Amino acid sequence: MTLRFCSLSSGSSGNCYLAGSDRTLVLVDAGISARQITERLKALGLKPEDLSGILITHEHSDHIKGIDTLSKKYHLPLYMNSATEEQLRTLCKYHSEMDIRLFENSGTFRLRDLDVRAFSVSHDAADTVGFALQKDSAKICTATDTGCVTEEIMEELTEADLMILEANHDEEILKMGRYPWFLKQRILSDFGHLSNEAAGLALAEAVAQDPRPRQVLLAHLSKENNFPEMAWQTVVNVLESRRIYLNDDLRIDLLKRDEMSGVYVL
């Protein structure tokens, strides 16, 4: 048992993942309330004091909602890049009291027994990142809040045994839906969110490049512009159109909005 992962919440109204090793547990984002995070950790037999820190992808509220209270109450180290830190100065009430540890994108830093690498994604915040967590040869990669899959993202995804990949929306539902035009343009742009189809294409490419056993978790689903069954089926359809089929070495689950996932162990 090297690495483990559990989604405490995933979707456009709040993102918070628990990941790590036997010795080191971190949150990737804290986009639900500190109370909810505490309750969900408790359901896993854990408490906030068991965490070694929180990795922050970017400053949008669905990723940072709980950090003010969590960091004030438990003094957890917060890991982020400098552009995100600058945004938090105005967004967070207790910013001056936070234990902030800055990292550089595309570099690897050590967090106890974990190697953590933040890589740039393509999104309309100051400097959004995805994270790769590695211990021994096991690797977890989170790639959400990105309008497109760059070469660097592709590289990280391809090497991951557990891949948390955004399947945010169905393009047709989004185009026909009630969102204002500017918001539709934002989501559809290269700096918005990944569609179900784009997620399928990225996964197909990763599998074609490296047929290692992998578990995929479709994440950050939109409440308005997606349905869980549709996200899953669209990704499977894209794969099957390229003769890639689900089996014991390629499993796809979906992270439900406002519901904890099971615990995945690598």
The footprint of Zn ion (CB under 5 A) covers 60, 62, 145
Minimum Å distance from CB 177 to Zn ion?
18
Minimum Å distance from CB 145 to Zn ion?
4
Minimum Å distance from CB 144 to Zn ion?
6
Nearer to Zn ion, 145 or 170 (CB): 145
Residue 7 β-bridge partners: 17
Nearer to Zn ion, 204 or 218 (CB): 218
Minimum Å distance from CB 220 to Zn ion?
6
Nearer to Zn ion, 60 or 135 (CB): 60
Buried b / exposed e over 67-88, threshold 16 CB at 10 Å, is bbbbbeeeebbbbbbeebbebb
Residue 112 region by backbone torsions, left for phi larger than 0, else alpha for psi between -120 and 50, else beta: left
Sign of the alpha-carbon torsion through 132, 20, 60, 77: negative
Specify the 3-state DSSP secondary structure of 86: helix
- What distance separates the 2 farthest-apart alpha carbons in the chain? 53
Q: How far apart are CA 263 and CA 123, in angstroms?
A: 28
Nearer to Zn ion, 52 or 84 (CB): 84
Q: Which residue is nearest to Zn ion (CB)?
A: 60
Nearer to Zn ion, 204 or 219 (CB): 219
Q: How far apart are CA 118 and CA 130, in angstroms?
A: 6
Specify the 3-state DSSP secondary structure of 13: coil
Nearer to Zn ion, 88 or 204 (CB): 88
Specify the 3-state DSSP secondary structure of 133: strand
**Chain centroid to CA 136: how far?**
21
Minimum Å distance from CB 8 to Zn ion?
14
Minimum Å distance from CB 17 to Zn ion?
12
